[in-house]
Each structure stands twice: as C-alpha cells, then as structure tokens.
Homo-oligomer: A and B are copies of this chain.
Amino acid sequence: MRLSTKGQYAVRAMVVLAMHGGAGPVSLRFIAEREDISEQYLEQIFIGLKKAQLVTGVRGASGGYTLAKPAQLMTSGDIVRAVEGPIKIVDCEHNGTCERVQSCVTRELWERVSAGMSQVLDATTLADLVLRAREKIN
C-alpha cells in the first residue's frame, strides 16, 4: 500500500514545471538536477504525462516541456493516473459476481477506500500545490 516513486516524481516534476510556467519550456535536465531525480527515469515518466496530454514536448536545443493546460485545470489525480494507471487499491476482475460473499463485501470496502483517495487527489489542483509552495518560500 504505497505509491511508487513514479507517481511521486511526476507530481514533483509538474510542480517545478508549473512554477516556471511562463518562461518557455523547462528541460528534463533542469528538473532532474532540481529534484535530484534520474534524467532518464524522468523521460519515462514524461512519456506518460505526454500521453495523457498534461504536457507538451518541445524538441530540439533549448526545448523541454510545458504544461498543456493551465495549472488550475489539472489535478494531482490526473497526474498520478497518467503515470500509474487508475487509482484502485485492489484489482478485482469479476465485477459484482463473486462466488464468495465475504470477498464481495471487502471489495466494496476497497472501492470506498480508493474513492477516498481519489477524492483527495482530484480536489487538489496543480495550482493549489504551487500556491502552497510559494507560501512556504515566503
């Protein structure tokens, strides 16, 4: 029951991206040094972010990544889902048709837990995180 580093790195990287918002694309090298994350690992993470249309890549020298839409319109849930897939704490195949009654009861429990997680993640926009970060600095 633990979020992999991929999800954690993704959110941290997106905060960096959002904080350097207006000033052109931000290179992975910059983020990698700033956050002490492997640059090549970041590349993999950004493939997911790009696929989910949260960032747009700018190729060539002095390129990098920019947000694909305003930080207000992007939640931490979007980011986590982009790199980790759907937010669910257990994966049950046979939907609603369990032969064991007990496991069906627990399945409902896990779904409520997953919903609780999603609720927090979807309620927090990237803009919120940036705001908190700026408050910390001052």
**B interface footprint on A76-102 (CB within 8 Å = 1, 0 otherwise):** 100010001001111100000000111
How many copies are assembled?
2
Q: For the complex, give the distance between the alpha carbons of A36 and B117 in Å.
A: 29
Binding site for B on A (CB under 8 A): 1-4, 7-8, 11-12, 15-16, 19, 34-36, 76, 80, 84, 87-91, 100-106, 108-110, 112-113, 115-117, 119-121, 124, 129, 132-133, 136-137
Contacts of A133 in B (CB 8 A): 101-102, 105
Determine if B101 and A136 form an interchain contact, defined as CB atoms under 8 angstroms apart: yes
User: Given A12-B103, A115-B120, 8 other A-B contacts at CB below 8 A?
Assistant: A1-B2, A1-B84, A3-B113, A8-B90, A11-B109, A12-B106, A105-B136, A116-B117
Query: Which 10 residue pairs are nearest across A and B when measured between Cβ atoms?
Result: A116-B116, A116-B120, A15-B102, A3-B89, A105-B133, A113-B120, A105-B132, A1-B3, A112-B120, A11-B106
- Identify the interface centre among A16, A112, A120: most chain B CB within 10 Å of its CB: A120
Determine if A105 and B15 form an interchain contact, defined as CB atoms under 8 angstroms apart: yes
